[in-house]
């Protein structure tokens, strides 16, 4: 548009272009574009856009020097540039420097906005400095130009929860609820998650009913949030009811909703319940994915039910088509390979490893399983060791330990 003279770019247009270039090509390209601009187009907007590019890529030295230049030119007169600087320190985990930026912007006559205070509150919370966090919150509440927002109180509540200050967390959550947008489901979702972290089922259920009554529509995202909350609370009976409610809600089928419950069953070692859930999915015409079966395998592993874990992982691997980039959980695979190498017949181990090779590259753990199975049945493993070398997989201490068992067996 600019090169063909379709329209003359204003500084605001250049700022948008700078941001887009930075997102797509990186800050070096955005910097070149900025340097090629005329002096009259280098305004607070374009300077701010380039600062944002530096911050987004966490380039601390250039961010700081560019900010200094903005101050010298009088372009750091709004909270935006200072907020960018605080975001930089957040992104590089230098939280202790954030309060200094807040002080500096006030000293320079720039009034912090809600976001400024919230970043600073977060910096104290991230360092578990509850006193510091409360002082900034109090200052924020005392500012006549600040209209308190629900998100700030939610952030504060989250840090109180992490510090096990339940009463203070509940107070912050009540303040947050008083000022939420009653028709915004995201507000309810956030509060539901925080109450779940407190283990407060009563408030979770109350807010869920309030959300359904207040919002025009409850979508899959909202069901996922609520399902996650019930799983966290280990309220699996309620979660089952919620799944039925979702199925009749008219929303598009979203695998993430049932998978949230499936993962909850798995994490609690309820492999049988997880598998039964998958069977119900099949009965209703919903074909479980390979990842679903991998989740169930993990659930069986929690209770050391290795036969079923292997069976479910085999099913998972057999569904792989090689084109979706899916990879099974490495920890689950490691446990299964160790167990099957110690207990499986050679044919079973070879079949499992064969399936696994269609999903991930051959690795040392696969060879170890094959070697152990062969040694247990008195077979030679020289061929496997040569194959390891061909695949450029070096023997390690575990390999040596496995091979030593061959010598002990011979004795």
DSSP for 212-236, written as a single string: HHHSS---HHHHHHHHHHHHHTT-H
Return per-residue pLDDT of the chain as tens, 411 residues: 777 777 888 899 999 999 999 999 999 999 999 999 999 999 999 999 999 999 999 999 999 999 999 999 999 999 999 999 999 999 999 999 999 999 999 999 999 999 999 999 999 999 999 999 999 999 999 999 999 999 999 999 999 999 999 999 999 999 999 999 999 999 999 999 999 999 999 999 999 999 999 998 999 999 999 999 999 999 999 999 999 999 999 999 999 999 999 999 999 999 999 999 998 888 888 877 888 999 999 999 999 999 999 999 999 998 877 666 778 899 999 999 999 999 999 999 999 999 999 999 999 999 999 999 999 999 999 999 999 999 999 999 999 999 987 766 654
Are the C-beta atoms of residues 55 and 88 closer than 8 Å to each other? yes
State whether the Cα torsion 190-196-197-200 is positive or negative: positive
Amino acid 290: pLDDT: 84
Are the C-beta atoms of residues 346 and 363 closer than 8 Å to each other? no
Amino acid 245: pLDDT: 95
Are the C-beta atoms of residues 170 and 161 closer than 8 Å to each other? no
Rounded (10°) CA dihedral 202, 207, 208, 209: 90
- What 3-state DSSP class applies to 355? helix
Beta-carbon contacts of 116 under 8 Å, excluding residues fewer than 6 positions away, are 79, 82, 83, 86, 102, 105
Tokens of 126: 């991230």
Of 292, 225, 299, 224, nearest to 256 (Cα)? Answer: 224
Beta-carbon contacts of 85 under 8 Å, excluding residues fewer than 6 positions away, are 55, 63, 64, 67, 101
Beta-carbon contacts of 61 under 8 Å, excluding residues fewer than 6 positions away, are none
Are the C-beta atoms of residues 226 and 220 closer than 8 Å to each other? no
Amino acid 303: pLDDT: 92
Q: For the chain, which residues make up each domain, given as ranges?
A: 327-410
Tokens 């956030």 belong to: 190
Distance CA 97, CA 81 (A): 15
Are the C-beta atoms of residues 317 and 289 closer than 8 Å to each other? no
Are the C-beta atoms of residues 207 and 188 closer than 8 Å to each other? yes
Amino acid 155: pLDDT: 97
Helices (H), 74-149: 79-91, 98-107, 114-126, 130-142
Of 35, 36, 70, 37, nearest to 51 (Cα)? Answer: 70
Amino acid 407: pLDDT: 62
Strands (E), 310-360: none
């Amino acid at each position: 548009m600019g090169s063909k003279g379709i329209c003359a770019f204003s500084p605001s247009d250049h700022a948008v272009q700078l941001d887009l270039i930075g997102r797509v090509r990186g800050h070096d390209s955005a910097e070149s574009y900025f340097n090629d601009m005329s002096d009259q187009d280098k305004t607070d907007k374009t300077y701010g856009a380039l600062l944002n590019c530096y911050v987004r890529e966490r380039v601390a030295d250039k961010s700081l020097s560019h900010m200094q230049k903005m101050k010298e030119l009088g372009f750091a007169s709004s909270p935006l540039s200072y907020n960018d600087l605080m975001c930089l320190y957040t992104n590089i985990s230098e939280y202790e420097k954030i309060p200094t930026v807040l002080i500096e912007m006030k000293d320079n006559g720039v009034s912090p906005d809600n976001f400024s205070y919230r970043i600073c509150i977060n910096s104290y919370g991230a360092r578990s400095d509850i006193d510091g966090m409360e002082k900034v919150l109090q200052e924020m509440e005392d500012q006549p130009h600040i209209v308190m927002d629900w998100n700030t109180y939610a952030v504060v509540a989250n840090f109180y929860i992490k510090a096990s200050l339940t009463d203070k967390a509940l107070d912050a959550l009540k303040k947050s609820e008083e000022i939420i947008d009653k028709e915004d489901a995201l507000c309810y979702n956030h509060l539901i998650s925080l109450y779940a972290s407190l283990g407060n089922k009563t408030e979770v259920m109350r807010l869920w009913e309030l959300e359904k009554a207040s919002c025009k529509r409850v979508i899959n995202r909202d069901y996922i949030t609520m399902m996650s909350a019930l799983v966290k609370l280990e309220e699996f009976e309620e979660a089952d009811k919620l799944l039925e409610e979702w199925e009749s809600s008219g929303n598009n089928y979203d695998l993430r909703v049932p998978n949230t419950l499936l993962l909850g069953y798995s994490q609690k070692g309820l492999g049988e319940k997880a598998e039964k859930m998958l069977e119900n999915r099949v009965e209703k015409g919903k074909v479980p994915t390979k990842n679903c079966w991998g989740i169930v395998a993990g659930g069986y592993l929690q209770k050391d039910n290795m036969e079923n874990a292997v069976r479910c992982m085999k099913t998972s691997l057999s569904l792989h088509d090689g084109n979706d980039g899916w990879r099974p959980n490495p920890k689950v695979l490691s446990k299964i390979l160790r167990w099957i190498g110690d207990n499986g017949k050679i044919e079973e181990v070879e079949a499992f490893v064969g399936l696994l090779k269609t999903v991930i590259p051959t690795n040392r753990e696969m060879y170890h399983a094959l070697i152990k199975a062969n040694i247990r049945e008195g077979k030679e493993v020289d061929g496997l060791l040569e194959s390891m070398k061909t695949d450029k997989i070096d023997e390690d201490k575990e390999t040596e330990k496995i091979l030593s068992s061959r010598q002990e067996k011979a004795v």
